[in-house]
Amino acid sequence: MKDGIYLIEKNGNKVLFTGKNSEKERNECRYVGLKLGFKAICVALQDATAGEVSLTTRADHADYADYKNNYLDATADWDGAKNTGHLKLIGLNPKIHLKDGEYIPSVGELKFIQLFRKQINEALKAVGGEPITGDWYWTSTEHSSSYAWSLCLGDGDLYTWFVKASNSGRVRAVSAFISKTL
């Protein structure tokens, strides 16, 4: 499967986005996929929240070994599914609506989306989705028991000063882009 932006249909078919896709292909789209080399991800057609929300209902007070407390470790994190599982154990904000198989992207995954936001937004518009804004988005990568990494998709700023239980940000759900030909 070649690199590019894909329309992921409800039956799982992956159709390369050309900007001239058929009405049927656009109507059947459930996710917009992004593939580059061995990295690939599916992006939900709209945010998982109505506006900005806190990430969790409380801080984590357990001993958790997977905090990423420096920039290099955070940007190398590509395991949003695992991170979201931990956030659910803490108490994921109930205003964040994730469908089965969806999760909150890690820093690495959200940076990947940010790099191709223009192309993803073109596909989202074509299928009636909600374009990804240039606002602050939560990642599932946690800095500490109180903080999580947030990424401004407008300019690429990445910060940890967002308290996950009280600060607000947007959330765009993602899911795995599974292909036997990757």
Question: What angle, 0 to 180 degrees and rounded to 10, lies between the N-to-C axes of helices 107-115 and 117-126?
Answer: 70
Within a domain: 125: yes
| pLDDT tens for each residue of 68-111 | 999 999 999 999 999 999 999 999 999 999 999 999 999 999 99
- Between 182 and 165, the higher pLDDT residue: 165
Within a domain: 118: yes
Which structural domain range is residue 12 located in? 4-175
- pLDDT computed for residue 161 by the predictor: 82
The total number of structural domains in the chain stands at 1
Q: At 182, is the pLDDT very low, low, confident or very high (cuts 50, 70, 90)?
A: very low
Within a domain: 182: no
Segments of 37-98 assigned E as strands = 39-44
Q: β-strand 29-36 against 4-9: which pairing, if any? A: antiparallel
Within a domain: 169: yes
Within a domain: 97: yes
Q: At 126, is the pLDDT very low, low, confident or very high (cuts 50, 70, 90)?
A: very high
Within a domain: 56: yes
For residue 26, give the 3-state DSSP assignment.
Answer: helix
Give the integer Cα–Cα distance in Å for 74 and 72.
5
pLDDT at position 64 over 60: yes
* Cα–Cα distances in angstroms (integers) from residue 3 to residues 16, 106, 139, 163, in the given order: 9, 21, 24, 36
Within a domain: 52: yes
- pLDDT computed for residue 179 by the predictor: 53
- pLDDT computed for residue 148 by the predictor: 96
Within a domain: 111: yes
Which are the contacts of 21, defined by CB distance < 8 A and separation ≥ 6? 7, 15, 126
Q: At 59, is the pLDDT very low, low, confident or very high (cuts 50, 70, 90)?
A: confident
